[in-house]
Structure 1
Amino acid sequence: MRLILQKLVLAFMHLWLWWSSSIHVDAADDSLNPGDTFNSSSQLYSKSRNYFLDFYSLLSGGEFFTYLAIQNAHDNTIVWDANKEQSVHQNDAVLSLNFSGVLKIEYPSVNKPIILYSPPQPINNTVATLLDTGNFVLQHLHSNGTTTLLWQSFDYPTNTLIPTMKLGVNHKTGHRWLLFSYLTEGRATPGGFSLEWEPKGQELMIRRRGKVCWKSGKLRNNRFEHIPEDAQGVLNYSIVSNGNEDSFSFTSTNENITYFWSLSDTGRLYYDDKEGYVARADLCYGYNNTDGGCQRWQDIPKCRIPGDVFTKKSLYPNYENVTYEENENISHSDCEAACWSNCNCSGFKELYTDGSGCRFYQWNSSKDYIVDGTVSGEDFYVLENKRNIIPHHHGTKGWIWISTVIATTLLIICALILCLAIKKRKHVLQEKKRKEMTLMEDFGNDLNKKHGLKVLDYSLVVAATNEFSSENKLGQGGFGPVYKGTLPTGEEVAIKRLARSSAQGIVEFKNELTLICELQHMNLVQLLGCCIHEEEKILIYEYMPNKSLDFYLFEDGTRSKLLDWNKRFSIIQGIAQGLLYLHKYSRLKVIHRDLKASNILLDENMNPKISDFGMARMFTQQDSISNTNKVVGTYGYMSPEYAMEGVFSTKSDVYSFGVLLLEIVTGRKNTSFYDDDHPLNLVGHVWELWKDDKYFELVDPSLNEVFDHEEVQRCIHIGLLCVEHYANDRPTMSNIILMLTSKSEIVSLPQIPAFYVQRNHCFYSRNDYFY
């Protein structure tokens, strides 16, 4: 009966609001000027009448809560609340802008007004305007016709994100933009969930009471990994990352659709007025990290099993056999969390119609409640297993007894089989560990004495990388992740953690380290030390603050402009010098086998350093060629003899260098040209323009035609010589450096390059291979 009365009162209030506000529609304006006031019978419309501002009331728990709100004029969706922390009385609430520039909400029953903005010093020429974007802004009007933004509603989002509204952080002021859920559907007081932008990982995340429970995943091709396509099909995302701010926002490609995201009090992120879900943080129970972006932040209680969820059911409890306890001051999500963590809780029901407060129940069997679909019972949220639909009946002997018997039987059988194996395994492991410890001690002393290589303690490496945290992760190398670390001396280093699945043992690892630490050249990344701890094998390199070459070449136009032609030509020469050292002047001939832009790191002076020797092969200087059954590397950079036959030599690196050289000149990836209408790869595109004497059209547009024409022509010529089909036709690194530094004309003319693709067929160089 009380619920029916509440609904009747709410309906009456909405009817009265519509009648009173409709009187003022014709007089509506989009701005408040100094001295203007705005009350519950007023509405402020944006210029195109997309949004309006008014005092709006919600009925919650038998009580009305009134807020100054911005609503979408097409569907009356509330997109912003001014006074979410403090409700006002509707009949006497007034929004005013005084002659000192103070924007505030007043109501006589409370002496202290709600200040939305107060300037440090009085400003006598201001205006508050509701824009067509839904942003309510306060501006200072200057005598010369310019304006200064003093305050805006977009800086204080509530539970709804609309186009151009930001999430993130303002680095100048430290102010954060984030969404907070309502405490309940009818109470705008901030609840338990927040939606935030995480700039380091470049992803969205939902927190529950401060703990991350959901992440969107990485943004790839304007789509987030864990957001359904229906929820982001018409959206364009905008990400800003600079000294002023790190922010995320979106716009809609369909101007006829009013699109928004809304964070509910239960942790659901809706789109389009609950038409579908962007995220279901209400299904993230803290232990699961496989369901739609859910994050692990707590261990699963012993009494719960994976798949347990709260299901809303209409039940008739037998109160004689059911025990319960109450909590009046928490929200629905807090009720779920409390019941989930309490092994004595079988489910709960909300105490009040607004969703606040809850009563926790414990029943011992299905006889303690009745499910009847013919008559409406009481709404309960019951723990069930979504995989098997098994209700939690604490104390029963049903499925728990069956599971126990099966598990015990299997344990007895397994124990008999494994007992001897475990005993033998234990002895083998102890002996192996003893030998490894002895070998490890000798290994560390040998590397330190003979090669000056630091052997770091594992605990020091863990501390330097903040326990290998994702915030410290720099990227993924050929055989494992790379982290930034800071040693106790303050020195910054790059720490490469080899994958545990690597087949290398300690002896092989020692041999490889011994060889790598002897490679000393200004254009090679220097190895500083290593660490071995149980199954962990870790390499410590010098830290490159300017990241890798591909970060500047391929990411966007802004970064590529940082590489003028002089820097690019210097980088080309540095890479060539590093390769020449590996091929000819190091004690052992080294073939890199994975030369590409992402493996060229840049130091503080933008000098190039070749990195990632995880796929490198080493020979004596007398050996010149080898083959392998396992082809490793990156397609697009592989020479034809290596990709097709597994044969590699120094000329394989020369081919990769040629592709990389052309990428540096053009600012394009070798594979970036592939599509149905333009089947040429980069090498083929360069060859086409070279034949037509139009090769200057290849130069990266971000250079703005500021480059040395003779050097560019020379580089393109050399690049085409390097990508010849036959290895013997390619120049050596010695010849390449001579051609780069000499002013004399290059005599050799390039032939059709390998993997040259035309519209109707592709073929290797010359006329030997056709497909």
Structure 2
Amino acid sequence: MVSSRLVFLVSICILISQAIAQPNFLYYFCLDKGNYTSNDTYKSNLNQVLSSLSSNTEIDYGFYNFSYGKSPDQVYSLGLCRGDVKPDICRSCLNNATNLLTLLCPNQKEAIGWYDYCMLRYSFRDIFGIMEDSPAFFMWNVNNVSANYDQFSQDLRTLLDSQRGQAAKGGSLRKFAAGNATAPDFQTLYSLVQCTPDLSAQDCSDCLAGAMGDIPNCCDRKKGGRVIRPSCNLRFEVSLFYDPTADNTSSPSLSPPPPSVPSVSPPASNNTPAAKGKESNKSQIVIIVVPIISFVVLIIISFCIYLRVRKPREKPQPQSESVDEIRRVESLQLGFGTIKVATDDFSDANKLGQGGFGAVYKGKLSDGQVVAVKRLSKNSGQGDLEFKNEVLLVAKLQHRNLVRLLGFCLEGIERLLIYEFVPNGSLDHFIFDPIKRAQLDWARRYKIIGGIARGLLYLHEDSRLRIIHRDLKASNILLDSEMNPKISDFGMARLFELDQSIGNTSRIVGTYGYMSPEYAMHGQFSVKSDVFSFGVLVLEIISGQKNNSFRTGENIEDLLSYAWKNWKQGIISNLVDPTLKASSTTEIMRCIHIGLLCVQENVADRPTIASVLLMLNSYSITLPIPLEPAFFINSGIESNIRLQWGNDSRVTESNQSKSSSVQASINEVSITELSPR
């Protein structure tokens, strides 16, 4: 027993020393924001998250994000590989990081570590899609620029500015740019920049701009340097350090640049083992070679002593993947009695609203957490196992502009979905209310428009599943305590049998006034269907009136028709809510322009939601001229399909050989495409 434990201790010590001694290990932080013990649920959730990394195919694209468990023990993890490395190098780097980071930070709930080729971070809080600039650290080349530093600095800024824009425009898999430029004294200047791909284009650009601003503080007159933050990083050298053939299958084979000296800029009120050293007059911490070696030795000795004196644990038994899946499902399931008590037996006093798939109630769990409970109608055609699996898929969708699914209940014929509670209710209660709309000034409305776009981008491109919402409207946008928008009712269509396939469906769900023409008339849907709905929503937010009941004096006409007519006449200011008259006219007019681009009849003419975000965030992009909106050719859709609308009414197509039906409702749902991303 003693011998085997000594072998184990020696192995662990060797593992730590080898991992830290690797030339591509850079730095780490154990953030002092909460601890866990070996028996905590958080610890088991963390193990589950990190163990899934090596088998996750998202790593092949260089980016990985995954969460597991339920608040307050939920674990969020994020892995990012440098944009030029190959999948095998990426996977190896992150595997090393998962082994090392938990050893270096044995009980901290939040930690982040960097290698040359990758970064790994995990936390108890939601870190997805959030730009963070600390904790950060710097490294610099020990050699100085010999002459003409001002020109060198200008060439570097020009190169980084170009790459910053290129990286910010990147998609959901990679926001990365690398390249070179000519520097003084016939040198070639190489640089790369990168953001985590879950950031918006604006957040990526802002993060890199801040990192560029740190260059004078860390790397003044140096031939090379790095600024590394949780959400972005940059590096420059006068020798090639990245793989210029990143699209080929060969691995990088690069000569290393001259050695760099690290400098750490720790977050406020954070004392980590890695942040010890002598303070300079710039309030930074410079760590030279001798303290690094001493510190590494100290870690190894301390950790070995800790392992030697702690009580031995039982060896965990290997678990099959099916057992892990069962545990994941069980961690989300709540008893019907618990929810019944939380909602006061689904009392009318706690009823928040009624939608097409059931009523929603406010509830308070025994731990004090306030939740929203959707009690689904009892016509689901799925079995219990299928329902659990679908809930598990939807629960993995995590974004600050999406309402989080916290759990579910499945007992008998009862099917309940438990969501986070969003206190300010839905957007329609504000923008369509003549009194409450005054609470939404233009700054808040503009923030809401951008938040909805970011949530849609996550659903369309950045999430594990590809989600086409199909019922984006004001009543499905919820507002939190700070008026941040959260898209609700996403990803639920797979919980019901809707006789549908990817690309088209014979039963159409949605809400009249928001549906794109190709979907309403032919059952064809795509991400551009959501873009159309987004365009309608933008025009409603600006005007403060519903699409199908827009009042112009004594008359009622369609909002899109009115917007188009005024656009053609050059007087679209008539469209603006009177409470916004004193607001930024330029910004409002640009948003109206974007809204009209989104509601064009031809699917190909509509922008993607990623393009919409760029239009919203960059005034340097010239907007194309919109074409006539959908539904208003030949004086409306009545010439194409017969309309009979009501709470349970249908629209039946009259000019196709195969009929299809449109179910118009006040609260329909989404469709999820299972597609490796």
TM-score normalised by length of structure 2: 0.44
Higher-helix-fraction structure:
2
Task: Look at both structures and tell me which one has the larger radius of gyration over its CA atoms.
Answer: 1
TM-score normalised by length of structure 1: 0.39
Higher-strand-fraction structure:
1
Of structures 1 and 2, the one scoring higher in RCO (CA 8 A, sep 6+) is 2
